[in-house]
Amino acid sequence: MKKFNIVIVGGGSTWTPGLLNSLCKKKSEFPLGKLVMYDIDEERQSVIGEFAKILFKEKYPELDFYYTTDKETAFTDVDFVFCQMRTGGYTMREKDEKIPMEFGVIGQETCGPGGFAYGMRSIRDMIQLVEDVRMYAKDAWILNYTNPAAIVAEALNRVFHEDKKILNICDQPVNLLRSYGKILGMDPYEFEPVYFGLNHFGWFTHLFDKEGHDLVPVIKNIVKERGFAPADAEQRDKSWLETYAMVEDMLKDFPEYLPNTYLQYYLYPEYKFNKMNPEFTRANEVIEGREKRVFEECRRVALEGTTKNAHVVHNDAHGDMIVEVAESIAFNKHQLYIVIVENNGLIGNIQNDAMVEVTATLGANGPRPYGVGNIDTFYKGMIEQQLAYEKLTADAYFEGSYSKALKALTLNRTVVDAKKARKVLDALIEVNKDYWPELK
């Protein structure tokens, strides 16, 4: 069986240990010859890298592994690039979340003004990454997890429209499928999902089992009776448990489809804002929670020289999905995944150049997506408003346009008010001077 060479961009991420573990679990199905971790933060990456050396010594001794901050070393002779970068790190994430709240607006990492700020930072570095990869590995598949995925996908599609080996993906639909599987007592890999929307802004219309029975009505009844929690609830921070619990509320108000959890911020912006603590946001929770746990454990493993009793894996869905996507492409398996692709009629009554999130099979030639036809007025209206925000955000970046940025934030359902939008935008411009293009 052929062995593949991969590079993980963002080797210093707290998600990397889980991804490394997934590669170990899948070494028979997706064998590797070489694995490189790449990050611009040498100090941060080295903590994960030294853990990885111990992990692979025990579980993957035949693997050629190293970590680096050099682009040529990282990208030469690779088949797959797994990308999970965070421009500005947690320092900027905290600003993304806290600054909007000063003006009465939700502070969230990928939604609203926080997502806008993060997107404007991510575009530059993602474009540079693709150019760097193509310099050394023109045929490598780039599998991108970088958030906010909707804005990143829109920007990359504009710049690299002819490059058919860039695939933007998100693990939240998979997290939801695992959660459905847990409450039904089923293997989520048995599901055939029908899904439509934008990234962090979509709905499951159907969830078929092997016999063709739609399980969506069953799941709705269970959620109504028992509530809803993530499959890996024991690993999740408090805010994530509250996020999943909101699915019950969304189904009461909008019972047609099973919603992506992120829709809560757009459907109930005032309610969600009032539940947030402006002094301790999700960024603080991560810094004091997952960040601390993962790095402390990686240091302990490196010191003790064994992964025995190690507990650094958080949320297997994140690592498992990207490895399985690569496997499906590498071996032309045409397995079903929910991915981000250009619309081109998949959702019949929205514009063709929208970057939509739908079910697709994945093989050697990339995704073959499934269309859902026309959608109802409410969902069409929701999507078109969010899509306009995403496109205007990309416009603001590429054109250096203050006006487009203001329009984007005014349209976003978490903001709505133009005076608030201007105040938030001006404050975000001030702290993002080192990352954003100048907006005029």
Q: Which residues are catalytic?
A: 171, 262
Cβ neighbours for 102, distance < 8 A, ≥ 6 positions apart: 278, 427
> What's the start-to-end Cα distance of the chain, in Å?
55
Cis status, amide bond into 259, omega within 30 of 0? no
Please say whether the dihedral angle defined by the alpha carbons of residues 119, 121, 122 and 123, taken in this order, is positive or negative: positive
Q: What are phi and psi of 142, to 5 degrees?
A: -105, 110
Distance in angstroms (rounded) separating the CA atoms of residues 318 and 314: 9
Cβ neighbours for 49, distance < 8 A, ≥ 6 positions apart: 11, 37, 67
User: Quick one: which of 15, 6, 145 has its CA closest to 77?
Assistant: 6
Torsion (CA) 67, 68, 71, 72 in degrees, nearest 10 = -80
Which value, in Å, is the radius of gyration of the alpha carbons in the chain?
21
Q: Strand, coil or helix: what is 357?
A: strand
Residue 192's DSSP bridge partners are 208
Length of the chain: 440
Answer for the pair 233, 243: CB distance below 8 angstroms, yes or no.
no
Residue 32's DSSP bridge partners are 4
Cβ neighbours for 403, distance < 8 A, ≥ 6 positions apart: none
- 137 vs 82, 125, 202, 210, 327, CA distance in Å? 13, 18, 33, 39, 19
168 DSSP assignment: E
Distance in angstroms (rounded) separating the CA atoms of residues 354 and 365: 21
